[in-house]
Amino acid sequence: MIVFPNAKLNLGLRIVSKREDAFHNIESVFLPLPLRDVLEVVKDKKQDDLLFSTSGIPVEGETESNLCVKAYYLLRTRYAIGGVQCHLHKNIPMGAGLGGGSADGAFMIRALGELFDLKLGKEEMHFLALRLGSDCAYFLHNVPSLVEGRGEKISKVDFSLHGKFLVLVHPGIHVNTREAYSTVKPGDSTEGIPEILKLPEREWRFKLKNDFEESVFKTHPEIAEVKELLYSLGAVYASMSGSGSAVFGLFDEPVNDLSQHFQGYFVFESVL
């Protein structure tokens, strides 16, 4: 079985409060992005464990910490699943605020459920995904959604950026999500993100904020420079996604010759 875990963008990201369980309550609109990893999962009757391999963008960290691996062993504690060979080809940069690892874990849960005919219901998959990570549950829905709480409250929103041109820039910086949350402070905005998104896109620049930018930009000013460069190129809106370090710009028209501006950076272009 081959599946294609996709990235996401954050349109606004409010840190509402810090919770007693050390997580944070957030408000953000998640938008699926057509940038995808490739995940192959097949049964392996010759052994009774997981054989995991990767290619593409190098996967950092210990194998045991990969969310595909964690998903396999999480399901093994609850269901009688057998040996599996899993290969992950990474196209989504890590430490970028694009949810690539979370998507891989969520897609792994669904793939294993289908592979072993576990008949997992929506509530069970949602529970399992939240055990893996706060963003994982979103990728079981994978439509424009308002995400609240620590990521467990997900409600579909009637929203589209159809016809806009997207430029996504990853400056080669890995922002550790846990560290980013340790320094972020709740913002002062009280206006709900869904209401802001009803405004013309050019007004978002002054209202639609990502609360991580203040602390992350202080540590990595080059990320702030990418955002400003996107505006100078004519973006109607630009923002860091998630806790960074990827920055995206929305344009009304295609942008010519991006290579002269972002040499050595990962650049993804798409029509939404």
Within 8 A by CB and 6+ apart from 145, the residues are: 29, 30, 138, 154, 155, 156, 157
Specify the pairing of strand 38-43 against strand 24-36: unpaired
CA distance 58 to 237: 31
CA distance 85 to 44: 6
Structure tokens at 76: 């093994």
Within 8 A by CB and 6+ apart from 125, the residues are: 109, 110, 113, 140
* Closest listed residue to residue 254, CA positions, set 266, 269, 265, 264: 269
Active site residues: 8, 135
Structure tokens at 19: 């919770």
Find how far residue 229's CA is from the centre of its chain.
23
Residue that is written with structure tokens 């990521």 in the block: 151
CA distance 120 to 112: 10
Q: What Cα–Cα distance (Å) separates residue 83 from each residue in 50, 65, 79?
A: 6, 19, 13
